[in-house]
Structure 1
Amino acid sequence: MRILKTTALSLALLFPATAFAEQAILYKNPQCGCCEGHAEHLRANGIDVKSVATHDLALKRQEQGVPMDLVGCHMLMIDGYVVEGHVSAATVKRLLTERPAVKGISLLGMPIGSPGMEGPKTEPFIIYTFGGSGEPQVFAVE
């Protein structure tokens, strides 16, 4: 038993937390081009992502309980969480490490300068939680 615990601890130290996560699925509108840029950012930072083009994005969001006022560009499903929009890989990894009691996190819209969106960043990006107890809260500021 002690050998198993030591091996598990060694593996946890050698590999990032996301190495044990299921493959992430990024649902995107077929006409949107920036979503693949975000997927590439996630892949470059160790998150395995499969992109799925769908015309049912609104329905998928409704099924996952994403509030309409927190809709981002696309929806990522990863390890039991929903990630809306162009959230950085660092913040996604923080979500997977901390595992807060929420359904997911969201970066509203398509802010210029966020991962996958070209251009200079002109303001801080505020990432909100949703699906927890109470109103959405600030999870991160990038």
Structure 2
Amino acid sequence: MKSSLFAALAILAMTASPALSGKLSFDVAKTASCGCCKAWVEHIRAAGHKVETSDMDMGSLAQHKIKLGIKPQHASCHTATVDGYVIEGHVPVADIERLLKLRPEAIGLSAPGMPAGSPGMEMGTYREAHDVVLVKLDGTSEVWSHYEEKQ
């Protein structure tokens, strides 16, 4: 009896949280003309997640980032929210999934700038060395993942 109760609770917990069930819902703010933003959205969809997009002019998008706690040093071209976190720029889906599994107290993740070879910024097999950073609640950051240069 106890084991079936625990099994039922585990199933309930997995279906109650999008982060635990595997299918996430992203809201992405971007500009209408940005091709790399569209490519990143496809990277997220290809991993089986749901994405809603909103096109904004540059000024509105900049204000949106500030409102969400993204400082200029962490900024990139698009800003997503998912399950209580902000995802700024070309962050790989694996980093996002790890964030949602570990659930640190933070604003979210950022791939500052637009690193060549990151998801949505593919350039053949080339990838520039870059970091994905965890943006903390106080606005500071620490390295979450490091990606080596690849030729």
So what's the TM-score if we normalise by structure 1?
0.85
Q: Which amino acid aligns with 2:104?
A: P
Say whether the 8 Å CA contact 1:114–1:121 is kept in structure 2.
no
Gaps (5+ residues) in structure 1?
none
Alignment of 1:19-38 (within 5 A): 19=22, 21=24, 23-38=25-40
- Residue 107 of structure 1 corresponds to 111
Report % sequence identity: 34
Flag the structure with larger Rg. 2
| Cα distance in 1 for residues equivalent to 2:51 and 2:116 | 22
SS at match of 2:104: coil
Alignment check: 8 A CA contact 2:70 2:139 kept: no
1:65 alignment counterpart: 69
Counterpart-to-counterpart distance in 2, 1:19 and 1:80: 15
Give the equivalent residue in structure 2 for 1:130.
135
**Shift in CA distance, 8/116, structure 1 to aligned 2, threshold 3 Å:** farther
CA-atom RMSD in angstroms: 2.5
Distance 1:71 1:134, change over 3 A: closer
CA distance in 2, matches of 1:31, 1:77: 20
Q: Which has the higher contact order (CA 8 A, sep 6+)?
A: 1
Unaligned runs of 5+ in 2: none
Give structure 1 regions of 4+ aligned residues with deviation exceeding 2 angstroms.
1-5, 7-13, 15-21, 120-125, 131-135
Distance 1:4 1:62, change over 3 A: farther
Give TM-score, length-normalised by structure 2. 0.81
CA drift at 1:133: 4.8
**8 Å CA contact retained: 1:18, 1:93:** no
| Residue from 98, 118, 125 that aligns with 2:122 | 118
Measured after TM superposition, the shift of residue 131 of structure 1 is 3.1
8 A contact 2:116–2:128 mirrored in 1? no
